[in-house]
Amino acid sequence: MEEDWLRSRLESGRSIESIAREVRKHPSTVAYWVTKHGLVSSHSERHKSREPLAREQLQRLVEDGLTIEQLAAALDRGHATVRYWLKRHGLTTVCARSLTRALPGDGALRFCRRHGYSAFVKTRDGHWRCRRCRAQAVSDRRRRVKQILLEEAGGACVLCGYARYAGALQFHHVDPEAKAFALADGGLARSLERARAEAAKCVLVCANCHAEIEAGLATIAPTGPCRLPI
């Protein structure tokens, strides 16, 4: 292969593999002529052999509980490289060892893209789902349902007008006898229709005013909410 032609290809950023495809030769043939002409590929640094992973370095990270994915990120190596050196040094990640243990009940340890290796449970349709993802999904839905109910109830405390933080707003049943369930104790996890029906029996108050109502310092009268003289 001519030196000038090969140099022009390398200087344009072409890799040895792409040059080999162009001339329909094996990459090793192109690499031979590159070396023979004293040329260097701009990609040579990327494919340069790297230092082996020391056992002490790997063991320290494994003892910290890192997964293979986390080891690869911390060491700037590929997953296959990390697995190779783990096997070479006779090391096993904690999470990999945990996969061999079944969890109590109908559960198992599996890999979650969000939480890493964590407990999975079977859903009613037979699929596996991360327990932490499921709990987060329930919490997110509860917040969405509460926000809908807050907006429909006016979005502010009927006694003092507080509306800064949704977490400090609560639903107070005007007639305790009509109370089917508490919206704060799992009620928001029910269907939106049932939650709406229960919220219709309530007034929206902030946590402070709700405490005053329960203590008898404020009241929700038929004519409207009011504070009692102390």
Give the closest residue to 208 by CA, choosing from 174, 173, 138, 158: 158
**Domain map (residue ranges) of the chain:** 3-36, 55-96, 137-227
**Residue the block writes with tokens 């162009």:** 22
pLDDT value for 36 = 87
Crossing angle of helices 55-63 and 68-75, in 10° steps, is: 130
Find out whether 169 and 206 touch, Cβ atoms under 8 Å: yes
Report how far residue 63's alpha carbon sits from residue 118's, in angstroms, rounded to the nearest whole number.
17
What does pTM read for this prediction?
Answer: 0.50
pLDDT in tens, the chain (230 residues): 888 988 898 888 888 888 888 888 888 888 888 888 888 877 665 555 578 888 988 888 887 777 888 888 888 888 888 889 998 998 877 655 554 454 555 567 777 777 776 788 888 888 888 888 988 998 899 999 999 999 999 999 999 999 999 999 999 998 888 888 888 767 677 888 999 999 999 999 999 999 999 888 888 765 455 554 44
